[in-house]
Amino acid sequence: MAERFAGFEREDVQGVPFLVRRDPRSKTFRMVLYARRPLDRDAAARALLPALLQQGTRRDPDRPALARRMEMLYGASVGPGTAKVGESHVLRMSVDAVAGAFLPGRPDQLGAGAQLLRELLCEPLLDGMGFPSGTFERERKQAADAVRALRDDKGAYAAERAIAEACAGEPYAIPEHGGLAAIEALDRGAPERARLDFLTRGEMVAFAAGALPEAGVAARLGELLAAMPARAPEPLRPPVSVAPRPVRRAVERTLLQQSKLHLHFRLPGTDVQRLWIGRRLFTNLLGGGPHSRLFREVRERRSLAYYASAGLERHKGLLQVHVGCDERAAAAVEEEVLRQARALQAGEFQEQELETARAQILGTLATVDDSPQARLAFAAESWFLGVDRTPDEWMDLYRSATRDEVVQGAAGLWLDHVYLLGAETPAGGIAP
């Protein structure tokens, strides 16, 4: 009997775990190979890599040629991307397409998509120094411009800066793009070194889900892996944790009308799954939607903010509260957030509130199976967390979770940092 993980069948392909889940209900499929490296000073080179790889291959020498090829595959999406997952930097190499069985002439969509992915990753346009100078300079400038433009998106800018301040000195403070200074300091060889580093030292795992053929899927991954250099994966470090300390604060000012208040709470590290069940319920009770304390108390009852929500970052052990409000209300918002968090920690919530939080989480989990893309993402997240459970198994755990488990999950939660992006002037905003 095949080994399984999170409802996927597992086999090893050239030493890389490959997890597959065929779904006869689907008409699309997704195949992804992930490679993980530590989030560190090389982040800028790693983050720039996807943009450079998409500038062309030996066969398709520019972006329009690559795009035309994907459009001919019925709008398939093929290519690399990067993401920050906890304190790791992940290269994601994916094929996302409609299965040939549902298209005129029944084309081999998986084979064609996997071949294109192989060319993108393993046959980039390079000269002796790395990516061609003109291409490198153009894409580096564009990446730097995009980071500068982040200041114009007040919500995204505040989120990035709040993390940088809250986690200063920890790898998690590094933004996914690596930072403006690091981008500007890149040399032409750095992205190619990052590519080889991902492919040789990266911890790899691959997934496929959806309308997949009965045979030959692993062979496609095998062809991709065979085209790569020899691998010697290096294990990742566990995330940095910090001991409780007095609340730290940071305030930045810019021209805006709606201020952004971000509170970062820390949670003690644990692998006890039932504690994480409690934590997820606690986060949902606090700020998981219109039924939550923050929405009802901060927005609806006291009209202090337009939005107020809470989210859990399990990889790093952070609970983040994001609020958009008038700066004059920021102190009252913070006070109310803390009051609500303390009340929930003390178990002061109605049974109905718990049932609503439970129903919301169950509702989300119940629909993961509807989409191969969502199911694959769920399995990948489970792999990165090292938790072998299907959505249905998680649902059973949430169904049986108790009030005490919420209280236990939230025990030890402490406020570490408060960040405010406020207005330079009372009027604020872009010039009228």
Cβ(51)–Cβ(117) below 8 Å: no
- Residue ranges in 266-325 that form contacts with another protein under rule CB under 8 A: 289-291, 295, 299, 303, 305-306, 324-325
Q: What six digits make up the tokens of 109? A: 């969509």
Residue 220 as a binder of another protein (CB under 8 A): the answer is: no
- Residue ranges in 109-128 that form contacts with another protein under rule CB under 8 A: none
Q: What six digits make up the tokens of 276? A: 């994480």
- Residue ranges in 359-418 that form contacts with another protein under rule CB under 8 A: 359-364, 366-367, 369-372
Q: Which of 94, 258, 309, 382 binds another protein (CB under 8 A)?
A: 258
In whole angstroms, the minimum distance from the beta carbon of 205 to another protein comes to: 24
Which residues touch 215 (CB under 8 Å, ≥6 apart)? none
Residue 432 and residue 427: Cα distance in Å, rounded? 10
- Residue ranges in 145-204 that form contacts with another protein under rule CB under 8 A: 145-146, 148-155
- Which H/E stretch holds residue 89? strand 88-98
Q: Which stretch binds another protein (CB under 8 A): 36-44, 69-77, 222-230, 267-275?
A: 69-77
Residue 227 as a binder of another protein (CB under 8 A): the answer is: no
Residue 233 and residue 247: Cα distance in Å, rounded? 39
Residue 68 as a binder of another protein (CB under 8 A): the answer is: yes
Strand order through the sheet with 77-85: 3-5, 8-13, 16-22, 203-210, 28-38, 88-98, 77-85
Q: Which stretch binds another protein (CB under 8 A): 141-149, 195-203, 274-282, 401-409?
A: 141-149
Q: Which of 31, 53, 76, 275 binds another protein (CB under 8 A)?
A: 76
In whole angstroms, the minimum distance from the beta carbon of 287 to another protein comes to: 13
| Of 14 and 364, CB closest to another protein | 364
CA distances from 75 to 269, 274, 394 (A): 43, 42, 34
Convert residues 26-45 into a mask of x (bound to another protein by CB under 8 A) and - (unbound).
Answer: xxx-----------------
Residue 7 as a binder of another protein (CB under 8 A): the answer is: no
Cα radius of gyration rounded to whole Å, the chain: 23
In whole angstroms, the minimum distance from the beta carbon of 85 to another protein comes to: 23
Residue 104 and residue 110: Cα distance in Å, rounded? 15
Binding-site size for another protein (CB under 8 A) equals 68
| Neighbour tally for 244: CB within 10 Å | 10
- Which H/E stretch holds residue 110? helix 109-122
Q: Which stretch binds another protein (CB under 8 A): 110-118, 171-179, 225-233, 349-357?
A: 349-357
Q: Which of 64, 229, 244, 347 binds another protein (CB under 8 A)?
A: 64
Indicate the pairing of strand 414-423 with strand 248-254.
Answer: parallel
User: What do you get for the CA distance between the two ends of the chain, in Å?
Assistant: 68
Residue 385 and residue 33: Cα distance in Å, rounded? 17
Residue with tokens 């009770």: 285
| Of 129 and 255, CB closest to another protein | 255
- Which H/E stretch holds residue 381? helix 372-385
Phi, psi for 213 (deg, rounded to 5): -65, 160
In whole angstroms, the minimum distance from the beta carbon of 300 to another protein comes to: 8
Q: Which of 241, 257, 273, 400 binds another protein (CB under 8 A)?
A: 257
What is the contact surface with another protein in residues (CB under 8 A)? 25-28, 62-64, 67-68, 70-76, 97-98, 102-103, 138, 141-142, 145-146, 148-155, 254-258, 289-291, 295, 299, 303, 305-306, 324-326, 352, 355-356, 359-364, 366-367, 369-372, 428-431
